[in-house]
Amino acid sequence: MAKLKRDPKSVELANKIIEDYQPESVEDMQDALKDIFGPMFEAMLKGEMSHHLGYESNDKGEKETENRRNGYGKKAIKTTSGKVDIKMPRDRDGSFNSELIPKRKKDVSAIESKVISMYARGMSQRDISSTIEDIYGFSVSHKMVSDITDQVLPELEEWQTRPLSNCYAFVFVDCMYTTIRNQYEAKKYAVYTILGYTIEGNKEILGLWLNETESKHKWMQIFDEIKARGVEDIFFISMDGVSGLEEGARAIFPDVIVQRCMVHLIRNSVKYIPSKDYKTFTKALKKVYGAPSLKACLSKCL
């Protein structure tokens, strides 16, 4: 059977959604997609309205048209993940008719993959223009592309700077490398990720930060930022072995208990094992890190 080929950028985006939402069932995954599709469609509809009227919602200058925004109406749309409630922008003279979600149309499941594709492609004007043209069925200008995509940026900035809980029971910090388009160039960036568990046991992504490489100094800046956003104490923090990272975390949160990530510890131990002994070694190692106590662990080693 031929191997199924998938778009690497779509795979990256899917992995990002899974990392952020940590779904444990099909229902969890559907809920995550609903959370994504609702704001995404609303942001694009706002961009369509701005293009239709010829001015932004916060533009206080002279308008070329007498038509104005007139609030929102509620609409339930059908997606592959179920029903999603969205707010449809309205204008005073009723001339606005969205190309994305036309009047009397409720089933948008056919365009979801195209909407995701737009974000997965890196939001270059050329790629977005071709994708929007595929969605709408007609050519669109760069101005309209900007009107649509610019509506998403304030929501991203608001999420990135939102206040955080004052205490987290457990925090996982890690850095992954992914290809991101910047202007006309696609290059690898380090994406710093922090996943926290609140005292109530709820999972929360504290933020995502970009840098060209992973370094202790960047982690220090991030720890400073989350403290400024309201984090006063962290009980446990799990991290890999980046040089100086543990000292950097304790410099900002002195009482934190640092644990090395089990996955990284296992990777570091097995990389010295010959391939012929790999299965035997990992089977024995599993008994060690799966032991219920230190005493039981030591007994496995003897």
Please write the tens of the pLDDT for every residue from 143-191: 655 665 566 667 778 888 899 999 999 999 988 888 776 666 677 888 8
- Please indicate, yes or no, if residue 146 is contained in any of the structural domains: yes
Both 194 and 251 in one domain: the answer is yes
- Decide if 61 is inside a domain: no
Residues 153 and 278 in one domain: no
Shared domain for 224 and 280, answered yes or no, is no
Q: Which of 23-27, 122-126, 136-140 shows the lowest per-residue confidence on average (mean pLDDT)?
A: 136-140
Q: Using CA atoms, how far apart are residues 115 and 117, in angstroms rounded to an integer?
A: 5
Instruction: Give pLDDT tens digits for 4-21.
Output: 555 566 566 666 666 766
Q: Is the pLDDT of residue 278 over 90?
A: no
On the question of pLDDT at 88 being above 60, the answer is yes
CATH code of the domain in which 232 resides: 3.30.420.10
Residue 74 in domain = yes
| Domain co-membership, 182 together with 256 | yes
Residues in contact with 257: Cβ distance below 8 Å, sequence separation at least 6, in sequence order: 235, 236, 237
* Structure confidence at residue 269 (pLDDT): 78
Residue 124 in domain: yes
- How confident is the model at residue 40, as a pLDDT? 75
* Same domain membership, residue 95 and residue 221: no
Shared domain for 186 and 207, answered yes or no, is yes
172 and 238 in a single domain? The answer is: yes
User: Lowest mean pLDDT: which of 135-139, 256-260, 281-285?
Assistant: 135-139
Residues 142 and 32 in one domain: yes
Query: What per-residue confidence (pLDDT) applies to 30?
Result: 62
Same domain, 86 and 196: no
* Band of pLDDT at residue 231, cut at 50, 70 and 90: very high
The yes-or-no verdict on residue 138 having pLDDT over 50 is no
Instruction: Tell me how many domains the chain contains.
Output: 3
pLDDT of residue 237: 92
Structure tokens at 216: 């202790």
Report residue 236's pLDDT band, with 50, 70 and 90 as the boundaries.
very high
Beta partners for 177? 190
According to the model, what pLDDT value does residue 32 have?
67
Is 194 a member of any domain? yes
pLDDT band for position 2 (50/70/90)?
very low
Longest dimension (CA), the chain: 84
Domain final residue pick, 124, 140, 158:
158
Q: Residue 220 pLDDT > 80, yes or no? A: yes
Q: What is the pLDDT of residue 263?
A: 76
Per-residue pLDDT at 265 exceeds 90 = no
Structural tokens at position 149: 């995509």
Last residue of a domain, one of 228, 245, 260: 260
Question: Same domain, yes or no, for 116 and 103?
Answer: yes
What contacts 211, CB < 8 A, 6 or more positions away? Answer: 189, 190, 192, 218
Q: pLDDT above 70 covers what percent of the chain?
A: 66
In a domain, 16, yes or no: yes
The domain boundary residue, chosen from 142, 158, 174: 158
The reply to whether 25 and 91 lie within a common domain is yes
Query: In angstroms, rounded to a whole number, what is the distance separating the alpha carbons of residues 242 and 248?
Result: 10
* Confidence at residue 125, expressed as pLDDT on a 0 to 100 scale: 54
Residues 167 and 286 in one domain: no
Q: Which domain holds residue 87?
A: 8-56+67-158
Structural domain contains residue 2: no
Residue 215 lies in a domain: yes
* pLDDT above 90 for 132: no
